[in-house]
Amino acid sequence: MSATNECILKAACKLGRNILENGGEIYRVEETINFFLEAYGIFDAQIFAIPATIIVTIEEDGKPMTMVERVKGSSINLDKLSKFNDLSRRACRDKLPVESVMQEIEKIRSEKPYSFFMSLMSFGFTAFFFCLFWKGDLRDALVAFVCGLSTKYCLEFMSRGKTNIFFSNAVSSAVIAYIAILCVNLGLAHHYDKIIIGAIMSLVPGVAITNIMRDIIAGDVITGTTKLAEVLLTALAIAVGIALAMSTVIFFGGGL
């Protein structure tokens, strides 16, 4: 074995961290680290992962060695997730040298996500199609498209100001609701409810909802409850944003 245990531990932690950051489930993170360490000849590793931290302890000549990775916030990037997953599989199967694994991790990390324009268009068209999906008509969908664009701008602006997720979701959904109500009152569209639903679909925590029970059934109750809190907070933020917009319109405009 050419690589030291330290390097192997470091590579395993980085791999797990990246899978966690890009939207992987906890059991996937723990299994990846475990398989990776076993493939490189380190057995009986103690691995603990929750959405905010990964702790791995291995033993070297009877002495414990621990590494902690603090994960702050995650952005879902399924492309990178699938690449890291693939990398860990390849590394375990072909016993790639640890240095080249580290290099590949850095390479995948530095890959650019979709450009701002593409992302803007995805937000717009997501709102467009979801509005049609929730039985809005074509004019509603066009207004929803504009709402989707405004969502992306809001989120971008908020993330530059480093505000928390709760606040940025609340502000984005408030802006959506204002635009929708304004356009309906101007006669550009018919159903403000359909527009708002279509546009908030990109904010609703769908990933967390699907992963909660999977985590709990896999035995990660801490993660499950953390994510449950996240889902409730996000849903609450969206509801508060729209409620704020609606009640100010009702209060100052005397009705919707």
Q: Which residues sit at the interface with another protein, rule CB under 8 A?
A: 23-25, 28, 76-82, 85-86, 113-114, 118-119, 121-123, 125-126, 128-130, 132-134, 193, 196-197, 200-202, 204, 206-207, 209-214, 216-217, 231, 235, 238-239, 242-243, 246-247, 250
Shortest spacing between CB 105 and another protein, in angstroms: 17
Shortest spacing between CB 86 and another protein, in angstroms: 7
Shortest spacing between CB 57 and another protein, in angstroms: 26
Nearer to another protein, 42 or 177 (CB): 177
C-alpha pair distances (Å), 100 with each of 37, 90, 107: 16, 12, 10
Tokens standing for 113? Answer: 């996500």
Q: Are 81 and 72 in contact (CB under 8 A)?
A: no
Nearer to another protein, 101 or 197 (CB): 197
Nearer to another protein, 77 or 168 (CB): 77
Nearer to another protein, 114 or 157 (CB): 114
Burial 174-197 (b: 16+ CB within 10 A, else e): bbbbbbbbbbbeeeebebbebbbb
What angle in degrees, to the nearest 10, is found between the helix axes of 206-217 and 221-253? 150
Tell me the torsion sign for CA atoms 78, 16, 235, 209: positive
Shortest spacing between CB 126 and another protein, in angstroms: 5
Nearer to another protein, 101 or 131 (CB): 131
For residue 246, the number of C-alpha atoms closer than 13 Å in the C-beta half-sphere is 10
Shortest spacing between CB 48 and another protein, in angstroms: 21
Shortest spacing between CB 16 and another protein, in angstroms: 14
Nearer to another protein, 9 or 183 (CB): 183
